[in-house]
Amino acid sequence: MQETKKKRKKTSDFYRRQDRWAMLMMTPWLIGVVLFFLKPLVEVIVYSLNDVQVTLGGLEQSWVGIENFKYVLREHATFYQDLFLTFSQALPNTVLIIFFSLFAAVLLNGKFKFRGAARVLFFLPIVLATDLISVSLVGVSLEESAGSGGGAATQSLSGAMMLVNFLIDGMGLPPSIISTILGVITNVFETIKLSGVQILIFLAGLQSVSPSMYEVAKMEGATAYETFWKVTLPTVSPLVLTNVIYTLTDNLMRTKLITTIQTTAFGSAQYGYSAAMSVSFLLLTLVVVGIVSLILGKVVFYND
Amino acid sequence: MTKSKSKSKTKAPVHARGRRLPKTAAEWSIWFRRKGGHILMSILRYALILSIGFIILMPILQMISASFMSPEEVGSPVSTWVPSAFSIEHLFVAFQLLDYPAALAYTLATTGLQVLLQVLSAALTGYAFARIRSKKLQKLFGVVILTIVVPPSVLMLPQYLFFRNFDILGIIKLITGSSINLLGNPVALFLLDFFGMGLKAGLYIFIFRQFFRGLPRELEEAAHMDGCSFFGTLFRIIMPNAVPGIITVSVLSFVWNWNDTYYTNLFVANKLNLMVKLNSASAGMDNALWAINRKIPGDFYFQHTNVLYQASILTSASLLVILPLIVLYMFVQKRFVESASNAGIVG
């Protein structure tokens, strides 16, 4: 009798104890957030509103208001264009990557021979998620264009030109559409390279769709096409949101703005301008990600 | 298909008879109507997988081919893929250029420690977020999402200054008279990793939280009933169940830290890091190659100002840098693919 009472008390104790430990486990992260995230965030906003000089004694700041922003957005030679370019490239890239990775995940989810090998191959870009490969590609194409005449680079260039001619002459497509198509084609490698994690997430989602759903769809006489749109897509739609946000931020982090920000700060010691660049980049990022997730949040279907 | 045909010639067992190939045209058309779509689909599937696989593998194959090509042959239109004469000169020079054994050991050690710290901090934080009952603290998870969304480059300047004049509440200054400069010291990265603010740490916390939320609480409760201590539960019940999540995060963390140039350039301009070495070498190949002049045997081609030669050396050096990743992937690929597709990324 006494034993059971003790046990029941222990159970309610259990949650309290778990809470205490959870608090403790969270502490390093909390310290980290304050010290390495919130504090720098506030500091960078303060710097962006000040004229900052680094001296031997530390930082010297004098209030200038939004002068830094005015300079960075209006007078700086490249920043505004780069900022615009970053976002106008990141958004279509995200769409491409999402479509490709969903497609690849569906492809890899089916039953076929060598499925394991195919998955290993498709996840390879995650492991080799490095700019080194494109560096070496540049190296190779450099070799070929510098080499004696007909290297593969010139060959592929003439191939592209032939395609352009064919599209313009034969199909009468306007040049803007052709340049988009060509952009997609030349981006194929980049898209595939950046899709690894997204394929992984979609594949995990597809595997969590319960087989009974498919069975029901089949019993009701749905075609494969209908099954995809009515069963598969709604179930993975929360992951579309996750993936879009991940892809968008991942794409934004690859911008060359980072180099501009870095050289402005450490190259030419214009810390105030650099901070203003950082803050405008951050604000735009938050606005774009916020809008995208708001729109997608309305579309997403939650099963629970 | 030939198999089923041969079976039908010899006395086929009952279950195989339906699968024999049709003989007349009419039979063919019926057969195709029944199976054609299926076969077309699988041909299409394999074609797609092969072509995408080729796009993925092509650059690596190209790197390997360029690395083993003999220097005289580079740029020759005759041999684009398979060199007619193999040579390890490119690799040898790249090996010397990177000071490979020392740099590899150093980078493996620091990256290994980083992975350990990141996995530990992300697992603990993720577990805490999955289990804590206080609604206020649960809302803090929004901050985790914020750390994922905010590009690390935004915080570059303050973090740089912080680590240049590193101090813990003025204590260090009190003792030694001045703050420590942690720039160029991997300790700065270890600190970031331990406090859950390292490279893509938010994502790892997210993965672990989703994963732990998928584990039933009753498991821990039962362990508690049986008198298991909190840490006993954590390390004997929770962690063994979290192995897929740990594998996924470890691989991702290793790979991304290994390939990272942003943090290493900012904080660890250490000469021993492979990535830093490669970057500085590619910035000034002439000088970098000239510096190792004496280590190169006399009968080598070694035209250190030749642009083509430099490009080939750079390609070989890149191959050497990603070689450990390829080896790692070969070892863990099966576990990684399995755990990643089953890990609770989805929740």
Summarize pLDDT for B8-30 with one digit per residue, the tens.
Answer: 445 555 555 555 677 788 888 88
**More confident: B77 or A102:** A102
pLDDT for A295:
92
Residue length of chain B: 347
Question: Per-residue pLDDT averaged across B24-44, rounded?
Answer: 80
Residue with tokens 């981006």: A187
pLDDT for A253:
83
* Among the partner residues B157, B255, B259, nearest to A44 by beta-carbon distance: B157
Q: Which residues pair with A51 in a beta bridge?
A: A62
Q: Is A254 on the interface with B (CB under 8 A)?
A: no
pLDDT for A30:
93
pLDDT for A303:
57
Residue with tokens 């890990």: B343
What sign does the CA torsion over A43, A45, A48, A49 have? Answer: negative
B187: tokens are 């300790």
Total Cβ atoms within 10 A of residue B89: 23
As a whole number, the mean pLDDT across chain B is 81
Question: According to DSSP H, which parts of chain B are helical?
Answer: 2-9, 14-17, 25-68, 89-98, 100-131, 135-139, 141-149, 156-164, 171-176, 187-194, 201-214, 217-225, 230-233, 239-241, 243-259, 262-267, 274-283, 285-291, 307-342
pLDDT for A57:
62
pLDDT for A286:
93
pLDDT for A159:
53
The 3 state secondary structure assigned to B181-214 is CCCCCCHHHHHHHHCCCCCCHHHHHHHHHHHHHH
Count CB pairs under 8 A between chains A and B: 284
Q: Is A15 on the interface with B (CB under 8 A)?
A: yes
Instruction: Kindly identify which residue of chain B lies nearest to residue A280, measuring between CA atoms.
Output: B154
Angle, nearest 10°, between helix axes A233-252 and A271-299? 170
What are all long-range contacts of B179-187, with beta carbons under 8 Å and residues at least 24 apart? Answer: B182/B267, B183/B267, B183/B269, B184/B267, B184/B268, B184/B269, B184/B270, B185/B267, B185/B268, B185/B270, B186/B110, B186/B267, B186/B268, B186/B270
In one letter, which amino acid is B276? V
Distances (CA, A) of B10 to A230, B19, B234: 47, 14, 62
pLDDT for A143:
39
pLDDT for A153:
40
Which stretch of B35-44, B49-58, B101-110, B300-309 has the lowest confidence by average pLDDT?
A: B300-309
Contact A133 B318 (CB under 8 A): yes
pLDDT for A45:
92
Residues 6+ apart with CB under 8 A from A153: A141, A144, A145
Q: Is A294 on the interface with B (CB under 8 A)?
A: no
pLDDT for B11:
55
pLDDT at B138 over 90: no
What's the whole-model pTM score? 0.83
Share of chain B above pLDDT 70, in %: 86
Which stretch of A19-28, B45-54, B275-284 has the lowest confidence by average pLDDT?
A: B275-284
Distances (CA, A) of A296 to A119, B166, B251, B347: 28, 42, 30, 19
Nearest to A255 by CA among A40, A88, A130: A88
Phi, psi of B54 (to 5 degrees): -65, -40
Q: Is A283 on the interface with B (CB under 8 A)?
A: no
pLDDT at B204 over 90: yes
Mutate which: A6, A25, A38, A96, vs B, most B CBs within 10 A: A25
pLDDT for A169:
65
Q: Which residues pair with A52 in a beta bridge?
A: A61
Angle, nearest 10°, between helix axes A79-109 and A271-299? 40
Listed by number, the residues of chain A in 233-252 with a beta carbon closer than 8 Å to a beta carbon of chain B are: 239, 245-246, 249, 252
Which stretch of A120-129, A244-253, B261-270, B313-322 has the lowest confidence by average pLDDT?
A: B261-270
B177: tokens are 């008279």
Mutate which: A130, A207, A239, A256, vs B, most B CBs within 10 A: A130
pLDDT for B80:
66
* Among the partner residues A124, A151, A192, nearest to B77 by beta-carbon distance: A151
Residues of chain A with C-beta less than 8 angstroms from the C-beta of B222: none
pLDDT for A144:
41
Contact A129 B256 (CB under 8 A): yes
Mutate which: B42, B154, B208, B323, vs A, most A CBs within 10 A: B154
Total Cβ atoms within 10 A of residue A63: 9
Q: What is the pLDDT along chain A (304 residues), one digit of tens a residue?
A: 455 555 555 556 778 888 888 888 889 999 999 989 999 999 999 999 988 887 766 677 888 888 889 888 888 888 888 898 889 888 888 998 999 999 999 888 888 888 888 988 888 888 876 666 554 444 344 334 433 333 344 444 445 556 666 666 666 667 677 676 667 666 777 788 888 889 988 888 888 777 888 889 889 888 888 888 888 888 888 888 889 999 998 888 888 888 888 888 888 888 889 999 999 999 999 999 999 989 988 887 765 5
Question: Per-residue pLDDT averaged across B63-74, rounded?
Answer: 82
| Cα A168 from Cα B202, distance rounded (Å) | 48
| Cα A133 from Cα B90, distance rounded (Å) | 17
